Amino acid sequence: MQLTDFDTLTFDVYGTLIDWESGMVAGLQPLLERTELSLSRDQVLEAHARHESSQQRYTPHLQYRWLLAVVYKRLAEEWGVTVTHDECLAYGDFVKQWPAFADSAAALGYLKQHYKLVVLSNVDNESFAYSQRKLEVEFDAVYTAEDIGSYKPSPRNFDYLLEKLGQRGIDKTRILHTAESLFHDHQPANRHGLANCWIYRRHDQQGFGATMDPGEMPRIDFRFDSMAALADAHRELVGQA
């Protein structure tokens, strides 16, 4: 199996292209400054992952920015901080300010010359519009949790992806699902028979950060520690190094 065996890259965005962990920690500063607890960065991210995953299961209909408002409320309760509804909403709106990883835009610009680029993301459409500007590329299709009515790792999201791409004549054997999260993306990609590419952004850190522990390790077809490394591997393969 080689990168040139595919003509479509389907992307997770947050954690893969957008640095959501830095964005989360920045957005949670009002809570962290008021709690009496001493929390490490990873403890903050793991607590966020726990509440976010739970909320996505219980309220799959909620748009992501509103779901994050509930997560903020749950974290405030857990950390002993009193917050207002407006503060919760402000955290949900902070997704628009989450930064892109430094290599994302350039790598996507290169890959766009060789692949169709498709988004499959646990986000709402309004928030994604702000993220897309940071990524500086036009995607060939964008499928969000708001569009689908559920959140990854629900199989519905991947069913929707494959149905919509199939209607455009894109066979799943030509799709390479590209993502950071083992829990949200690689396990369901395995179950749907998709080849996958792990962008292991946390390769130099312990644990799973803002994603849940996947338990059993999924099959990985390709692994790169950054989007830049993926683009470089493709350049080398096609003789553009």
- Residue-wise pLDDT tens digits, 109-155: 999 999 999 999 999 999 999 999 999 999 999 999 999 999 999 99
> How large is the average pLDDT for residues 54-78?
97
Phi-psi region of 183 (alpha: psi -120 to 50; beta: other; left: phi over 0): alpha
Q: Are 105 and 19 in contact (CB under 8 A)?
A: no
Rounded Cα distance, 194 and 173, in Å: 7
Interval 161-218: pLDDT, tens = 999 999 999 999 999 999 999 889 999 999 999 999 999 998 888 888 788 778 889 9
Interval 81-93: pLDDT, tens = 999 999 999 999 9
pLDDT of residue 241 exceeding 60? no
CB proximity list for 75: less than 8 A, separation 6 or greater: 28, 31, 47, 48, 51
Rounded Cα distance, 26 and 36, in Å: 18
Q: Are 173 and 192 in contact (CB under 8 A)?
A: no
Catalytic sites, residue numbers: 12
Q: What is the pLDDT, as a whole number, of residue 103?
A: 97
In whole numbers, what is the pLDDT of the chain averaged over residues?
95
What is the Cα Rg of the chain in Å? Answer: 18
Find the largest Cα–Cα distance for the chain. Answer: 58
Supply 59's token pair: 């309220």
Beta carbons within 10 angstroms of residue 29's beta carbon: 9
Report pTM: 0.92
Rounded Cα distance, 2 and 194, in Å: 14
pLDDT band at residue 19 under the 50/70/90 scheme: very high
> How large is the average pLDDT for residues 11-31?
96
Phi-psi region of 193 (alpha: psi -120 to 50; beta: other; left: phi over 0): left
Supply 140's token pair: 């060939």
Rounded Cα distance, 78 and 26, in Å: 18
Rounded Cα distance, 47 and 163, in Å: 34
Give, as one character, the DSSP assignment of residue 207. Answer: S
